[in-house]
C-alpha cells in the first residue's frame, strides 16, 4: 500500500519483500526477505569494510559487524542481536 501511495505522489520506493512465504528453500526465503535492509547493509557497510576480499580473520570481523548492527536495527536487546545475526546473512 505504501509503495502504491508513494507512486501516486511521484515517489519511487524499492520493494522490500518479494513474497518470501512462497519460497522453495531457506536460502530463497532469506533472499526474498528484507531486500532493502540486506542491500543497504551490503552496499554501505559490508563492502566498504572490505567484504570478503580480505584475510579470513578480517572477514569474520566484517560479518560480525554487520550481524551486530543489523541486530541493533531490529531492537536494542540481546535477543535482537541474535536475530540480526540470522537476518544479515547474504
Could you list the active site residues? 74
**Cα distance between the two ends of the chain:** 27
Q: Alpha-carbon distance 25 to 36, whole Å?
A: 20
Q: Alpha-carbon distance 83 to 16, whole Å?
A: 18
Q: Which residues of 62-76 are buried (b: 16+ CB within 10 A; e: fewer)?
A: bbeebbeebbebbee
Amino acid at each position: 500500500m505504501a509503495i502504491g501511495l508513494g507512486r501516486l505522489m511521484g515517489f519511487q520506493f524499492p520493494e522490500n519483500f518479494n513474497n518470501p512465504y512462497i519460497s522453495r528453500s531457506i536460502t530463497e526465503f532469506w533472499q526474498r526477505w528484507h531486500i532493502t535492509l540486506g542491500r543497504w547493509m551490503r552496499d554501505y557497510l559490508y563492502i566498504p569494510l572490505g567484504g570478503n576480499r580480505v584475510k579470513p580473520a578480517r572477514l569474520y570481523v566484517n560479518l560480525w559487524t554487520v550481524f551486530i548492527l543489523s541486530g541493533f536495527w531490529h531492537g536494542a536487546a540481546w535477543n535482537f542481536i541474535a536475530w540480526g545475526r540470522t537476518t544479515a546473512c547474504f
